């Protein structure tokens, strides 16, 4: 039988099981290390210490129709991002305060019901010195605002732009900016040639979009093909240039069947609104401008015949 003393020093996962009032699924992060300046003593000023984080999140039951879909779960990245965000926000004197901030930020996630956070200093003595707290939804102590990620920019590339000798220069200049970049490439409409029905042409246009995305990634290794919202969020926060492969998001979105995927500009406009982009950059000829309401956000800039 597990004793209270054994539980006191057990991993938070064991403690969460022992103290559960109802069975919940659990997501855990074990032995996550970070090097930071922290501490209330003068001897801890201007000194970097190793912190070890162990986190267990009890989550709401997964939907029966999960379908192996990464966008419908609480991602491990949310745990490490919560830690990184709080460590970057300010210098902490107390582990207790840091524990509270990390726990409260994790509980902002809709799936999170209860969280165990243990943080230990590894360099203050022969052993590990630490604090562990337990918090549940609605029990937030600190005032935590959701993190405000930089608003991304969607860069639309027409077939003409994909063949431009300026393509690498455009990517260089976009990469040098502060905003996250995601490319939307005009679909390869040759895929749908010969299709007899609108349904077939629509699905083939999605395949043409996938093909075009991989062609851009093949041209420039900095451009990474992504197909789901979880990957996009990670890319925006980590400075990765993304190329959108449209099939998954379009098919998973209730209004997706109404999107005119055969038109590259229309598809890019819908995608920009979907991810909250602050602007759309157009690389291509004037024919791609048809039907774009320049008074409607996101702001549309025509970059035809010039570089950034």
d(CA 278, CA 298) in angstroms, rounded, equals 6
Torsion of CA 264, 269, 273, 276, to 10 degrees: 80
- Cβ distance 249 to 229 under 8 Å? yes
Place of tokens 């007899």: 196
- Determine the pLDDT at residue 3: 64
Going from the first residue of the chain to its last (308 residues), give the mean pLDDT of each consecutive group of 10, the final group possibly shorter.
61 71 80 90 83 90 69 79 87 89 90 90 89 83 56 88 86 86 88 78 87 93 88 84 89 75 82 83 59 40 42
Looking at the domain that runs over 4-136, which CATH code has it been given? 3.30.1130.10
Are 222 and 238 a contacting pair, CB within 8 Å?
no
Pairing of strands 48-59, 25-37: antiparallel
CATH number for 153-286+293-302: choose from 1.20.1250.20, 3.40.1160.10, 3.90.1310.10, 3.30.230.10.
3.40.1160.10
Show the tokens assigned to 50.
């190793």
Scanning the structure block, which residue is given the tokens 């707290």? 133
Residue 231: both structure tokens together:
């990957």
Q: Are 174 and 282 in contact (CB under 8 A)?
A: no
> CA 162, 244, 308 angle in degrees (round to 5)?
50
Let me know if the fold of 4-136 is the same as that of 153-286+293-302: no
How far from 228 is each of 225, 252, 279, CA to CA, in Å?
10, 10, 20
Domains of the chain, residue spans: 4-136, 153-286+293-302
Cβ atoms 151, 181 nearer than 8 A: no
Torsion sign (Cα): 197, 198, 199, 201: positive
| Beta pairing partners, 302 | 282
């Amino acid at each position: 039988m597990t004793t209270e003393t054994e539980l006191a020093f057990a991993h938070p996962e064991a403690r969460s099981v022992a103290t559960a009032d109802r069975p919940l699924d659990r997501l855990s992060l074990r032995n996550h290390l970070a090097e930071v300046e922290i501490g209330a003593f003068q001897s801890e000023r201007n000194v970097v210490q190793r912190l070890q984080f162990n986190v267990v999140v009890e989550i709401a039951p997964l939907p029966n129709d999960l379908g192996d879909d990464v966008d419908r779960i609480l991602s491990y990245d949310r745990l490490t991002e919560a830690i990184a965000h709080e460590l970057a926000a300010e210098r902490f004197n107390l582990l207790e305060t840091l524990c509270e901030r990390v726990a409260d930020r994790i509980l902002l996630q809709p799936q999170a019901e209860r969280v165990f956070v243990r943080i230990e200093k590894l360099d203050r003595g022969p052993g590990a010195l630490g604090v562990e707290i337990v918090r549940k939804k609605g029990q937030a102590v600190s005032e935590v605002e959701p993190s405000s990620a930089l608003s991304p920019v969607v860069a639309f590339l027409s077939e003409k732009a994909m063949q431009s000798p300026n393509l690498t220069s455009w990517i260089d200049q976009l990469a040098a900016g502060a905003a996250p970049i995601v490319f939307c490439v005009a679909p390869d409409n040759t895929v749908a040639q010969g299709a007899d029905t609108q349904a077939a042409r629509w699905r083939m246009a999605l395949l043409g979009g996938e093909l075009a995305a991989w062609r851009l990634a093949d041209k420039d290794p900095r451009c990474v093909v992504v197909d789901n919202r979880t990957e996009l969020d990670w890319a925006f926060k980590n400075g990765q240039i993304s190329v959108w492969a449209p099939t998954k998001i379009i098919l998973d979105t209730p209004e997706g069947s109404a999107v005119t995927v055969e038109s590259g500009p229309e598809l890019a406009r819908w995608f920009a609104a979907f991810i909250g982009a602050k602007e759309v950059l157009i690389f291509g000829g004037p024919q791609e401008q048809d039907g774009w309401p320049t008074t409607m956000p996101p702001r549309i800039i025509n970059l035809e015949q010039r570089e950034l």
